[in-house]
Amino acid sequence: MSTATTSNGYTRQAMNFSLAVGVLMLVAKWVAFLLTGSSVIFSDAAESVVHIIAVWFAWFALGVVDRPPDEEHPYGHDKISFMSAGIEGGLICIAAIVIIVSAVNKLVVGVELQQLDIGMSITAGAALVNLVLGLYLIRIGKRHTSLVVEANGRHVMTDVWTSAGAVAGLFIAQWSGYLWLDPVIAIIFGANIIREGGKLVTLSVRGLMDHADPVLRARTQKIIDAFCATHGLEAHRLRLRASGNNVHVDYHLMFPDDMRMQDAHTLATLLEDAIRAELGMLTEVFTHLESHTQPDGHV
């Protein structure tokens, strides 16, 4: 079994686990909201609805990412991972707006809370489960270079902080008797959720626009420079783009006029293999061969 196949199996398994846990947490949080009438718990439950929708789309995106390149998509289908992150970020922002509007309405019409002990216990339990899930998803996403899984894990972690804050806020409101703190804290959480969603949207736009990755470029340039210094070659016009867990690299390799094309091609293949080994990802490398006296653009 290939490394890519094994990696895809782990990421899909992670998303299946995320979906199953997400459904259970959604049920638990809505029960807590119905018992307490808390705006903070409602904000937590609303984000869980978004989470379920986002996980479903991420699960679908993983299936598309796995498809090999074809005539209509010669560079593969990895860009959908950035779309998935953008949609998840957008849904998070929409949920945050709903949370803020609901909390403001509570402030206007009045706050009434009940059975807080049970509601806080359920919410705290959900936070602990999501903490384990979020750390697991982020680890799997980083290990297998899956933006879809990592973005989902970061979404789960925002859910953890929302749940933890909900419990803390309800405890303070119950202890102090200032029930208006419940919707105020929900508004603060809503603003934080918008911030986190904005980060995912920004990441998505940067990926779809092929924003340069200076770290990846520096690592690639270092390999090329070292190889050229060893073999008396030169290289220029390095370009690369990262899309999901794939990297596309192309550059121009200049060789001496008296070097045979066969030897130049052999050296280029060695350099391509070195780049793939260094990046440790699904890397496509394209080398344009040209001589010193007739560089690209000259006859």
Three-state secondary-structure class, residue 232? coil
Percent of the chain beyond pLDDT 90? Answer: 13
User: Which residues make Cβ contacts (< 8 Å) with residue 197, sequence separation at least 6?
Assistant: 88, 89, 90, 91, 92, 93, 96
What pLDDT score was predicted for residue 167? 81
What pLDDT score was predicted for residue 1? 43
Q: How confident is the model at residue 299 (pLDDT cuts 50, 70, 90)?
A: very low
Q: pLDDT tens-digit profile of 1-21?
A: 445 555 667 777 887 888 888
What is the spatial distance between Cα 14 and Cα 42, in angstroms, rounded to a whole number?
27
Q: pLDDT tens-digit profile of 267-276?
A: 999 999 999 9
CB-count burial class (<10 Å; 0-12, 13-18, 19+) for 298: exposed
Q: How confident is the model at residue 193 (pLDDT cuts 50, 70, 90)?
A: confident
Mean pLDDT of 134-138: 90
Q: pLDDT tens-digit profile of 200-258?
A: 788 778 777 777 778 888 999 999 999 999 998 999 999 888 765 678 899 999 988 88
What is the spatial distance between Cα 96 and Cα 191, in angstroms, rounded to a whole number?
7
What is the spatial distance between Cα 150 and Cα 137, in angstroms, rounded to a whole number?
6
What pLDDT score was predicted for residue 176? 77
CATH 1.20.1510.10 range(s) for the chain read 3-208
Q: What is the CATH number of domain 3-208?
A: 1.20.1510.10
CATH 3.30.70.1350 range(s) for the chain read 214-291
Hunting for tokens 């690639």 — which residue is that? 220
> Is pLDDT above 60 for 83?
yes
Helices (H), 37-115: 39-65, 80-109
Closest to 93 measured CA to CA, from 162, 183, 196: 196
**Number of CB atoms found within 10 A of residue 22's CB:** 24
Mean pLDDT of 130-136: 90
Which of the residue ranges 6-10, 50-54, 152-156, 295-299 has the most confident prediction, judged by mean pLDDT?
A: 152-156
> Is pLDDT above 50 for 71?
yes
What is the spatial distance between Cα 48 and Cα 95, in angstroms, rounded to a whole number?
9
What is the spatial distance between Cα 171 and Cα 184, in angstroms, rounded to a whole number?
14
C-alpha distances (whole Å) from 245 to each of 4, 137, 279 are 10, 16, 11
Which option is the CATH number for 214-291: 3.30.70.1350, 2.40.30.10, 3.40.50.970, 3.30.930.10? Answer: 3.30.70.1350
Vertex 120 angle, CA 118 and 121, to 5°: 65
DSSP tag of 274: H
Q: What is the pTM assigned to this prediction? A: 0.60
Q: What is the mean pLDDT of the chain?
A: 80
**Number of CB atoms found within 10 A of residue 132's CB:** 12
> Is pLDDT above 80 for 61?
no
